């Protein structure tokens, strides 16, 4: 059987699949159950310094091809995160990536400094959620200077943990933003956050279905965009990447790894294939590698002839 | 599960008062719901809430709603013809077999989904001991509809003794279990009550099924809001109906649930 282990920024992962931020990640008990379902690692829901209310319902709708959400980053804040991370650390079953978020640029350093002290392996800085614009304005990942300065601020205080930046596909040139983050000291990237925002209207009521009206688009429809952006950023920066966006099958995971991803984030596919999608995707990757005579999945990273 | 999770929008066909704060909303659709399952009910411009199904007879869907929060108070103002969105059905259901004797223990408007159980079970030739507890006579629900069912004995308890046994429905359950050989107990209502029902069932050696309510956003196992400790399972997928033997393994059961940001809220604040 092919070796699925990968090393990402100094941390060993049993397989490349990680739970993407925003899906299922509310409690330590859930993180553990997702690892039991085969995930190689976990990304928390985005952690705020203080309690942050999400949007009212409806917050998530789906079709066969896409999901659209405006959950709005609800979180109980740092104190609860500390409790959950401590709980997860008892018999820690797999690496933990802490997603952090803030409303103002200068607040990222505050939450980063705190989370850097906890038993997490990597800090993922979420500067790209597209469904909180009404509240927070244009995401920082949309302006190169902002993205760079947030990266610098976080890098200054995160003394213990590697820092990766989660970028938005909703810009003219992602590579320009990625280069700016790299100049700011980013250790890697998570690519991509949800697309859009988009809008879905119910015919009978002529009203947007989501209470927030607009939401971020994920799911199978956005995969080709994710693969392209991972490929572009990998070629430009050579920094290690968590590739995510519509990854649903082992073939999808292998494709985004060939484009340049080391780890593969899976979120929306929990809906399409169940909570054990991680085990299914790993098995499919392993089967393909065996068939093709690939001994270690790590060999495939960035090998696409783009 | 259906991969398209968009609300089906239908007008309210009929509204019926169950008591001062509880109404039945009828819709001229069937979604194939089974007793104990729930729908996500979209009130456009207001909210979307998980609501348990009070009846789906293949022609009509009935939702029984108690106005207690902001959204359900808005719901109480709705009129026949107003359009609402429905997603579902979601979750597990109460399972009954032909000829069983069932004790159904409802607390408050928790009696509504149990009416659906009784409605289906009566058709299967089950014998039903329906035990309903409420604050007082005027808070009872589904009395007329239950009386119309075959093989159904109704037992009532009220806090103030205005009708039936003065005290808890769990006390009535104990008496019923002494007098009748019961195959299964099914309960829906306040969690502390269901915990007591589970304990009584366990003592009597009767399999007991509870209906767990948690804060829900999606209803289809993605948002992670409805998980329970320490297993991390999702009540929207593995619940709401669960065997008491499973529910009692939860740290949460009868103790706390999590709010919209994932913080613990205790049923009896310490």
In this predicted complex, what is the ipTM? Answer: 0.91
What is the tally of structural domains in chain A? Answer: 1
- pLDDT above 80: residue B2: no
**Beta pairing partners, B104:** B130, B186
Output the pLDDT for position B237.
93
Are B42 and A59 inside 8 Å of each other by CB? no
Percent of residues, chain A, with pLDDT higher than 90: 95
Maximum distance among all Cα pairs of chain A, rounded to whole angstroms: 55
Question: Which residue, B58, B55, B46, B69, is CA-closest to B26?
Answer: B55
Residue A165 domain flag:
yes
Percent pLDDT > 70 in chain A is 100
* A3-7, B170-174, B232-236: the lowest-pLDDT one: B232-236
Quick check: B1 pLDDT over 60?
no
In whole angstroms, what is the distance from residue B124 CA to residue A158 CA?
Answer: 65
| Residue A15 pLDDT > 70 | yes
pLDDT of B191: 95
> Judged by CB atoms within 8 Å, which residues 262-301 of A form the interface with B?
267-268, 270-272, 274-275
Is residue A135 over pLDDT 90?
Answer: no
Average pLDDT over residues A45-58: 95
Chain B: closest CA distance from residue A288 (Å):
27
Average pLDDT over residues A134-139: 84
pLDDT at B27 over 70: yes
B contacts of A20 (beta carbons < 8 Å): none
pLDDT tens-digit map of B78-118: 999 999 999 999 999 999 999 999 999 999 999 999 999 99
CB contact under 8 Å between B227 and A27, yes or no, is yes
SS3 content of chain B, % helix, strand, coil (to 5): 25, 35, 45
ω into residue B230 within 30 of 0, thus cis? yes
Break chain B into its structural domains and give their ranges. Answer: 8-90, 101-266
Of A30, A53, A209, the CB nearest to B261: A53
What end-to-end distance do the CA atoms of chain A give, in Å?
A: 28
Residues within 8 A of B (CB atoms), A 141-200 only? 200
Altogether, the residues listed in chain A come to a count of 306
Q: What is the CATH number of the domain that holds A212?
A: 3.20.20.70
Buried/exposed B198-231: b ≥16 CB within 10 Å, e otherwise: bebbeebebebbbbbbbbbbbbbbbbbbbbbbeb
pLDDT of residue B4: 86
pLDDT band at A69 (very low <50, low <70, confident <90, very high): very high
* Residue A14 in domain: yes
Q: Given this model, what pLDDT does residue B74 score?
A: 93
Q: What is the DSSP letter of B100?
A: -
Is pLDDT above 70 for B59?
yes
Beta-bridged to residue A195, according to DSSP, are: A217
**Does residue A187 fall inside a structural domain?**
yes
May I ask the CATH architecture of the domain B8-90?
Beta Barrel (2.40)
Length of chain B: 270
In a domain, A92, yes or no: yes
Rounded Cα distance between B39 and B37, Å, is 7
- What contacts B121, CB < 8 A, 6 or more positions away? B96, B100, B102, B128
Across the range A10-15, mean pLDDT stands at: 98
Fold of B101-266: Rossmann fold (3.40.50)
Is residue A1 a part of any domain in this protein?
Answer: no
Nearest in space to B241 (alpha carbons), one of B32, B36, B52: B36
Among residues A67, A36, A42, A30, the alpha carbon closest in space to that of A194 is found at A67
User: Residue A130: pLDDT band by 50, 70, 90 thresholds?
Assistant: confident
Judged against a pLDDT cut of 70, whether residue A238 lies above it is answered with yes
Q: Beta partners for A216?
A: A69
List the domain range (segments joined by +) for residue A24. Answer: 6-300
Question: What is the mean pLDDT of the segment spanning A252-270?
Answer: 98
Q: Taken in order B103, B107, B110, B115, is the CA torsion positive or negative?
A: positive
Nearest to A23 among B40, B42, B224 (CB): B224
In a domain, A47, yes or no: yes
pLDDT given at position B270: 65
Burial of B35 (0-12, 13-18, 19+ CB in 10 A): buried
Annotated catalytic, A289? no
Contacts (Cβ under 8 Å, ≥6 apart) of A88: A28, A31, A32, A42, A96, A119
pLDDT for B22 beyond 90: yes
Do the Cβ atoms of B221 and B256 come closer than 8 Å? Answer: no
pLDDT in tens, A157-188: 999 999 999 999 999 999 999 999 999 999 99
Confidence of residue A76 (pLDDT cuts 50, 70, 90): very high
Whether the bond between A197 and the residue before it is cis, its omega within 30 degrees of 0, is: yes
The whole-angstrom distance between residue B39's C-alpha and the CA centroid of its chain comes to 12
Bridge partners, residue B41, by sequence: B49, B86
Give the helix ranges, DSSP H, for chain B. Answer: 70-76, 111-123, 143-147, 169-179, 191-204, 235-238, 244-247
């Amino acid at each position: 059987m092919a070796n699925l282990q990968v090393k990402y920024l100094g941390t060993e992962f049993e397989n490349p699949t990680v739970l993407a931020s925003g899906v299922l990640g509310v409690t330590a008990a859930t993180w553990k159950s997702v690892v039991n379902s085969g995930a190689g690692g976990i990304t928390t829901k985005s952690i705020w310094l203080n309690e942050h209310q999400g949007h009212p319902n409806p917050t998530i709708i789906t079709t066969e091809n896409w999901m659209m959400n405006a959950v709005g980053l609800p979180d109980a804040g740092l104190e609860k995160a500390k409790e959950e991370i401590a709980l997860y650390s008892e018999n820690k079953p797999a690496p933990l990536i802490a997603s952090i978020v803030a409303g103002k640029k200068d607040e990222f350093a505050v939450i980063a400094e705190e989370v850097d002290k906890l038993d997490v392996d990597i800090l993922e800085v979420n500067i790209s959620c597209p469904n909180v614009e009404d509240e927070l304005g244009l995401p920082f990942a949309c302006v190169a200077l902002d993205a760079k300065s947030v990266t610098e601020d976080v890098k200054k205080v995160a003394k213990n943990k590697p820092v990766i930046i989660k970028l938005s596909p909703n810009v003219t040139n992602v590579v320009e933003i990625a280069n700016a983050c790299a100049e700011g000291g980013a250790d890697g990237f998570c690519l991509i956050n949800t697309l859009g925002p988009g809008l879905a209207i119910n015919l009978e009521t002529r009203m947007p279905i989501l209470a927030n009206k607009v939401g971020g688009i994920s799911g199978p429809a956005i995969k080709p965009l994710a693969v392209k952006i991972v490929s572009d950023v990998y070629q430009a920066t050579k920094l290690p990447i968590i590739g995510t966006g519509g990854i649903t099958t082992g073939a999808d995971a292998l494709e985004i790894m060939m484009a340049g991803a080391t780890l593969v984030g899976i979120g929306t596919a929990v809906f399409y294939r169940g909570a054990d999608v991680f085990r299914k995707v790993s098995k499919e990757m392993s089967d393909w590698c065996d068939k093709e005579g690939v001994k270690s999945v790590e060999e495939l990273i960035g090998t696409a002839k783009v | 599960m259906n991969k398209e999770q968009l609300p089906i929008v239908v007008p309210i066909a009929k509204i019926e008062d169950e008591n001062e704060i509880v109404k039945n909303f009828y819709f001229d659709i069937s979604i194939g719901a089974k007793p104990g399952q729930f729908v996500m009910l979209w009130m456009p411009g207001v909210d979307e809430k998980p609501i348990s199904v009070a009846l789906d007879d293949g022609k009509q869907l009935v939702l029984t709603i108690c106005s207690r929060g902001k959204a359900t108070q808005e719901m109480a103002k709705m009129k026949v013809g107003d359009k609402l969105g429905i997603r579902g059905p979601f979750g597990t259901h109460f399972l009954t077999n032909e000829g069983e004797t069932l004790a159904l223990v409802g607390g408050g408007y928790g009696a509504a989904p149990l009416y659906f159980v009784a409605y289906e079970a009566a058709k299967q030739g089950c014998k039903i001991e329906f035990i309903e507890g409420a604050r007082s006579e005027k808070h009872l629900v589904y009395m007329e509809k239950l009386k119309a069912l075959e093989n159904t004995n109704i037992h009532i308890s009220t806090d103030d003794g205005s009708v039936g046994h003065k005290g808890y429905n769990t006390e009535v359950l104990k008496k019923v279990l002494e007098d009748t050989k019961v195959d299964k107990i099914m309960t829906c209502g306040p969690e502390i009550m269901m915990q007591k029902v589970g304990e009584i069932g366990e003592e009597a050696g009767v399999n007991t099924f509870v209906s767990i309510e948690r804060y829900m956003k999606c209803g289809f196992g993605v948002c992670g809001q409805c998980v329970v400790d320490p297993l991390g399972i999702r009540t929207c997928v593995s619940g709401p109906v669960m065997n008491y033997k499973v529910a009692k393994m939860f740290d949460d059961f009868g103790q706390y649930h999590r709010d919209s940001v994932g913080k613990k809220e205790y049923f009896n604040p310490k």
